[in-house]
Amino acid sequence: MLSFVNDYCENAHEAILQRLIQTNREKKPGYGQDSYCAAAQEKIRAACACPGADVRFLVGGTQTNATVIDAVLRRYEGVIAAVSGHIAGHEAGAVEFTGHKVITLPQHEGKLSAADLRAYMEAFRAESSWDHMVQPGMAYISHPTEYGTLYTRAELEALASACRAYGLKLFLDGARLGYGLVSDGTDLTLPDIARCCDVFYIGGTKVGALCGEAVVFPHGAPAMFLTTVKQHGALLAKGWLLGLQFDTLFTDGLYLRISRNAIDTANRIRGFLRQRGLPLWIDTPTNQIFVTLENSQLARLQEQVQLGIWEPVDQTHTAVRLVTSWATGMDEVEQLGQLLLAL
């Protein structure tokens, strides 16, 4: 059975496991105060061209979103997101659990637009009862988005500019950031992101690590952030487990190099789809491929391939998601290709 269900189905890049073995019996201080975290922080600052950044490591994506948003917002503030944003729909209300409203705006192929953001803020300010409303304090975006699409540099700069104009912090969820950074045609770099955002994270879980997300605060972390992380139940005792992984991923460009495999394999799949004439449900440049299948095609494909059912398109068609990753083998892709061509 082939599987293209998700990008968190394998353990970790072998280099990480090797280092876990090498360092196994070293005694290391807990809670991220070790030399591996320090080394990883330094390498991430360099990769971001942001020497003053504060870098912290958390375990998973929802945890990171909820902790960062709660740490950055004031108590009476909410966070603005596209209606398709991960925090808006698929995190079990983890943000609301900490008391903050997720204010949703329309999505444009998964993206939040600066124009919508400005229009919302203008309308908010024009409201006579604005002080009876949740005060917008932050804009949340994902890059790549939940639809696998990417912001251009100009789009991110427009969002950053809108955020500054209205006193909002800009937070970029980079659970799949590596795949976005190496996609064909993107003009957005890690230093661009560090320049535009108030906080963002570099995803490890979906890009080669066992677990872990590296949170970057280009202008410094909120006061007492470690205590806030502990308060959220998000402080890992063996913090070096995260530091050591990111140190490995950010040594000699491993993070971007392995990310590229996901794009190469995804591109090959897109080639098969074109060749077979199967229509893309949405055209994306990253490792998530959305294709519209006839339900009978889908049924046949599912006999040999695990994939994601995205949503019904009409009575007889379904949008389907195929995901590649750092670990996807080109041989698996070729097998999938033959199945697609034979549909």
Q: Which of residues 125-154 bind its own copies (CB under 8 A)?
A: 128-129, 131-135
Please, what is the minimum distance in Å from the beta carbon of residue 211 to its own copies?
A: 6
Q: With CB under 8 A as the contact rule, which of the stretches 94-102, 113-121, 265-273, 282-290 interacts with its own copies?
A: 94-102
Report the residue from 46, 97, 115, 275 that binds its own copies according to the rule CB under 8 A.
97
90 near its own copies (CB under 8 A): yes
Tell me the backbone φ, ψ of residue 103, rounded to 5 degrees. Answer: -90, 120
Q: Which of residues 190-209 bind its own copies (CB under 8 A)?
A: 205-206
Residue 245 · residue 43 · CB < 8 Å: no
What is the longest distance spanned by two Cα atoms in the chain?
63
The rounded distance, in Å, linking the Cα atoms of 108 and 83 is 10
Residue 139 · residue 112 · CB < 8 Å: yes
102 near its own copies (CB under 8 A): yes
226 near its own copies (CB under 8 A): yes
Please, what is the minimum distance in Å from the beta carbon of residue 122 to its own copies?
A: 11
Please, what is the minimum distance in Å from the beta carbon of residue 266 to its own copies?
A: 16
92 near its own copies (CB under 8 A): yes
Written in H, E and C, the secondary structure of 252-306 is: CCHHHHHHHHHHHHHHHHHHHHHHHCCCEEECCCCCEEEEEEEHHHHHHHHCCEE
The rounded distance, in Å, linking the Cα atoms of 73 and 70 is 5
Q: Which of residues 26-85 bind its own copies (CB under 8 A)?
A: 26-30, 59-67, 70-71, 74-76, 78
Q: Would you state the structure tokens that stand for residue 304, as one six-digit string?
A: 């040999």
The rounded distance, in Å, linking the Cα atoms of 251 and 240 is 16
Residue 101 · residue 134 · CB < 8 Å: yes
5 near its own copies (CB under 8 A): yes
Please, what is the minimum distance in Å from the beta carbon of residue 29 to its own copies?
A: 7
238 near its own copies (CB under 8 A): yes
Q: Which of residues 314-343 bind its own copies (CB under 8 A)?
A: 327
The nearer residue to its own copies, 64 or 286, going by C-beta atoms, is 64
